[in-house]
Amino acid sequence: MAYSAKVIDHYNNPRNVGSLDPKDDSVGTGLVGAPECGDVMKLQIKVNEETGVIEDAKFKTFGCGSAIASSSLATEMLKGKTIEEAAAIKNTAIVQELNLPPVKIHCSVLAEDAIKAAIEDFKKKQAAKRAKAQEALTNA
């Protein structure tokens, strides 16, 4: 299958490959997909806890060129957005930007899932942090 120029560019020069500390409360981690299905994406966001703005995003992906490109593009789209704005990102935006063919749409769906999972993880950690602070306050 022929890949679009944008997919090839992201594959050859992936943006934001790497990892953030998953134990950091300001970091949300999303891990989606399965090795048996041929694609796994790990997408992480670092959020400013005051403003709710995503300051950094990193990914690692096991998958085809379109899966790598979808997650690479996702990290680019995430930076600078608030988590509310990020939650509104749709896979169709990725399909359009990368000119993904129909057989590769599932790659963009996976990227959207990864974004949602990372936001979810961040929110869960924040809630746990608040609960802990509350508990400390009550006990004091």
Partner 1 sequence: MALDLSRPIYMDYNATTPMDSRVLEAMMPYFTEKFGNAASRNHVYGWEAEEAVEKAREQVAKAIGADAKEIIFTSGATESDNIALKGAVEMYAEKGNHIVTMLTEHKAVLDTCRRLERDGKATVTYLAPKQDGLVDLEKLEAAITDKTIMVAIMMANNEIGVIQPMEQIGEICRKHNVLFFTDAVQAVGKVPVDVNAMKIDVLSISGHKVYGPKGIGALYVRRKNPRVKLAPVIDGGGHERGMRSGTLNVPGIVGLGKALELCIEEMPNEMKRLTYLRNKLKDGILSQLEEVYVNGSMESRLPGNLNMSFAYVEGEGLLMGLKGLAVSSGSACTSASLEPSHVLKALGVGDELAHSSIRYGLGRFTTEEEVDYAIQITVEAVNRLREMSPLYEMAKAGIDLKSVQWTHH
Size of the site for partner 1 (CB under 8 A): 34
- The separation between the first and the last C-alpha atoms of the chain, rounded to the nearest angstrom, is 64
Tokens at residue 26, please?
């300001």
Give the residue from 86, 88, 108 showing the smallest Cα distance to 99: 108
- Is residue 37 part of the annotated active site? The answer reads yes
- Is residue 64 part of the annotated active site? The answer reads no
Cβ closest to partner 1, residue 56 vs residue 113: 113
Q: 2: which residues sit within 8 A by CB, 6+ positions away? A: none
23, 32, 38, 126 from 63: Cα distances, Å? 26, 12, 6, 31
Cβ closest to partner 1, residue 7 vs residue 47: 7
Choice from 26, 46, 63, 122 touching partner 1 (CB under 8 A): 63
Which of the residues 79 through 138 are near partner 1 (CB under 8 A)? 102-106, 109-110, 113
Q: Does 14 bind partner 1 (CB under 8 A)?
A: yes
Q: Which residues are paired to 61 by β-bridges?
A: 41
* Residues of this chain that bind partner 1 (CB under 8 A): 3, 8, 11, 14, 17, 19, 31-42, 60-65, 67-68, 102-106, 109-110, 113
Which residues are the active-site residues? 37, 107
